[in-house]
Amino acid sequence: MENPRNRLTGLHSLNAEIHRLRRHRRALEHKIDERMEFLQGNYSSMVMKSVFPAIQGNSGVPSTIVELLTQNERIKGSVGRVANLVLNKLSDGLDFIADRFEKNGQ
């Protein structure tokens, strides 16, 4: 991409650059929206796959069970909620520890 300062020779070129940047911003916002929708739609299966990575590569009963669990919407939602709760508790614990260190350091 060219340096915009080299192309801006007057008010017309400035307005053209502003419009180009606005179009680019809208395109980037659209990409972000698409990626967020993908993440929201696949969050639970990504969590399941990260929790059980060793089982996925294998074939057999454990792999089949995990695959069935990742396809069930209710279980995916529950796993997502549990993961969220665990992460919130972990964050609370880390905040507590950081507060203790700050109080001891003063």
Is the pTM higher than 0.75? The answer reads no
**pLDDT greater at residue 92 or residue 47:** 92
pLDDT for position 18: 92
pLDDT at 77 over 90: no
pLDDT at 103 over 60: yes
Inter-CA distances, 46 with 32, 34, 41, 68, Å? 19, 17, 10, 14
pLDDT for position 55: 53
- Tell me how many domains the chain contains: 1
Structure confidence by residue, pLDDT tens digits, 11-70: 999 999 999 999 999 999 999 999 888 887 777 777 767 766 655 555 666 667 777 777
Structure-block tokens of residue 2:
């060219």
Picking from 51, 106, 89, 8, the residue whose alpha carbon sits closest to that of residue 43 is 51
pLDDT at 106 over 80: no
83 close to 52: Cβ distance less than 8 angstroms: no
Owning domain of residue 11: 4-105
pLDDT for position 72: 76
